[in-house]
Homo-oligomer: A and B are copies of this chain.
Amino acid sequence: MTSSGPPGTPGSRGVHPAWLPDEAFRPIGSRRTLLCGGGPLAGTVHEEVASACARYGGSVRRRAAGPDEAPEAGADDGAGDGADEGGPYDLVLALTTAGPLPAVTETALAGFRRGPAPGDGPAVGPDIGPVIGTAGGDERIGDEGYVVARHEGVTVVLADSATGLLYGLFHLVRLGEEAFGAARPAEHHRPAARLRMLDHWDNVDVHPVMGQVERGYAGGSIFWRDGALRDDLTRVRAYGRLLAACGVNAVTVNNVNVHATETLLLTDRLRDVAAIADRLRPYGVRVHLSVNFAAPVALGGTATADPLDEDVRAWWAAVTARVYEAIPDFGGYVVKADSEGQPGPHAYGRDHADGANLLAEALAPFGGVVHWRAFVYNHRQDWRDRSTDRARAAYDHFTPLDGRFRDNVILQVKHGPIDFQVREPVSPVIAAMPRTRVAVELQVTQEYTGQQRHVCYLAPMWSEVLGFRPWGPAGPGVAHVVAGDVADGAAGGGLVGVSNVGDDPYWTGHPLAQANLYAFGRLAWAPSSDPAAILDEWIGLTFPAAAGGNDATGGDDGRLREALHEIMDDSCGTYERYTVPLGVGFMVRPGHHYGPDVDGYEYTPWGTYHFADRDGVGVDRTRATGTGFTGQYPPPWSEVYESLARCPDELLLFFHHVPYGHVLHDGTTVIQHIYDTHFAGVEEVERARLRWAELAGLVPDAPHARVRELFAEQLRCAEEWRDQVNAYFLRKSGVPDARGRRIP
């Protein structure tokens, strides 16, 4: 039998399997498995195991309840080696609700309180536990959690819910042969954040400027094509499978900029959304919808969209009820309101809390949530006015509203105060809304980080964001805020990523950009994970032939792993070096945002300036002499950023305007740092390119060729960045490179 995973496995369709190639299932598929548990998601688990067994000769037996009952209808054993149907098993996958379990699983369950699982209830309340822990007290496994152990030659996965069981199965896939090696004590895994969501900026109609996918660099949408739902949604199911395997549990299926056709998804085109939900549901992924705040007017339902108007409230209540009739596990609404031209409550003299609560009220009876984006600023700023600071905007808009949002409103905050630049400080809003559920939004799609033509592994940047401690080293971190794990804080809002996926055969355009999607899910589940370890997981899963399967101790001769770590671990640092220096941001070509244009946004209404002149560069955001943005942070950061001496070098120009001769902590001047990093960044790209070339033969030909071509473009573009930025600052400063290199 050739490549043929469960329905939706794309291997046979010319679509790259990403981190779920058939080979990754060999350790499970070649063993004897007992699955205890009923229901549709347990059916997915069964399907996965059976499919693997069909390929690799193992077997699976399923029972929905007690051990003596007949297998559930529809469940059957995989083709196998004729092992005793009643046991013994190498692997037991069991719901704690599945009646009497084999003795070995009972042993593994010791220390856990067996109780009714929360079932498939709405994802409202917080259910945050430790990222990983060895079972000890009398704790529940939890909604999406699982316990994994190995005793007496049997690997056991236990979960309170079938979703947890599914996550446990993919945990074993990641472990590979290790899962069946030495004994291991019970480990309890639970996601840090309950909501781990990908937002698709996909348009239904092809937008005349932004195309099918706004800021998409991987082809068309997997959901939509030329104004309609795609006929074949096979890939949507395969996407759900990939997401479950990295821990994502929610997807928003349309762009936050909601145009005319997309407004109709809420009503006339709701069946399209339901069709997507049907494909994602087997993998525990819920569907959310971006809505137009003015939908009641746009769809002709009411004369106003005023959030305090009774007709408007009734309209949203009725429409939302119909959404839940069609999609009982619908996740909720995502809203970009009063931002970059989108409608919102301000038109009616209402504020963001009024607006968000309107929708929250409609969703509450069904357990849905509103993701209300905090990306609100004046995009018609006068560049002459240095007192207005876009960085301040979200804080200024939203902190006065803290405490006014309903508990099913999640304020979705971009990780930095500006807009997904390769280097920004963490947004002060995250630490400023103790009575509001906050989600942090990351950009998996590489709008400002090379647009999936450049290698840029983003996990280290995200890890820094999640590990940032706004109140200083003794306080909680960003990860705790989004997990709701802060004393006296609100429930967490989770982690949101803007998806980098399209209908490209590799899903992400650049084959190596798959690692960003994978890492997003893994960090959302376990924010304290080491980015290099995540990458290592991804390498093992994605390149099983060369890397010896997903078993790090297996046949891997180490060359591919080593090379990919060299190429990718610090690729985001490399990107930062050859692009925008010292945190100043936005030196990209206006509009498409690819490639350099140092002054491209300097005299525009977008609020993104560097203020370079012949003497110096940077934005003074201090309280003493600048815009006062530093005051939006709690101590110690309010003081650290304010201080020219203490401000971290990499953020120097974000917070301060300094002379070119200003000396950084490493002893180099700002101007020399600019030259040095730009030369270094290009050299690093060139080294990575050559390193990749050496992998011919180790990596399959097709992705190897694709990445090789992309490296040529990355190198060209990096040289363009180096030369433009260096030439710009040389012309402006007049300071020659201390090392005498050629600057054009």
Contacts and interface: CB of A to CB of B under 8 A. Distances in A.
Given A384-B744, A614-B614, A744-B384, A603 B724 contact: yes
Interface stretch (A540-548, A593-601, A686-694, A698-706): A593-601
Nearest to A611: B731
B613 A732 contact: yes
Contacts of A612: 731
A727 to B, nearest CB: 7
Contacts of A732: 613-614, 731-732
A733 interface: yes
Copies of this polypeptide in the complex: 2
A615 interface: yes
A723 B597 contact: no
Contact of A734 (B383, B384, B615, B730): B615
B727 A614 contact: no
Interface in A662-721: 720
Contacts of A384: 723, 727, 744
A384 B719 CA distance: 11
Contacts of A596: 603
A734 B599 contact: no
Interface string A578-618: 00000000000001000011111001000000001111000
Contacts of A727: 384, 603
Grouping DSSP codes into helix (H, G, I), strand (E, B) and loop, the A interface class, with mixed when no group exceeds half, is loop
Contacts of A731: 612-614, 732
Contacts of A734: 613-615
A659 to B, nearest CB: 13
A733 to B, nearest CB: 7
A743 B603 CA distance: 13
Contacts of A603: 596-598, 720, 723-724, 727-728
A603 B615 CA distance: 22
A734 B616 CA distance: 11
B724 A614 contact: no
A612 B727 CA distance: 11
Contacts of A744: 383-384
Nearest to A386: B744
A591 B590 CA distance: 11
Query: Which of A208, A596, A603, A733 has the most CB atoms of chain B within a 10 A radius of its CB?
Result: A603
B733 A614 contact: yes
Contacts of A733: 614
A13 to B, nearest CB: 30
Given A613-B734, A614-B614, 11 more contacts: A208-B208, A383-B744, A384-B723, A597-B600, A598-B599, A603-B720, A603-B724, A613-B730, A615-B734, A731-B732, A732-B732
20 contacts: A208-B208, A384-B723, A384-B744, A597-B600, A598-B599, A599-B599, A599-B600, A600-B600, A603-B720, A603-B723, A603-B724, A603-B727, A603-B728, A612-B731, A613-B730, A613-B732, A613-B734, A614-B732, A614-B734, A731-B732
Interface pairs A-B: 5 shortest CB-CB: A613-B731, A384-B744, A599-B599, A614-B614, A603-B724
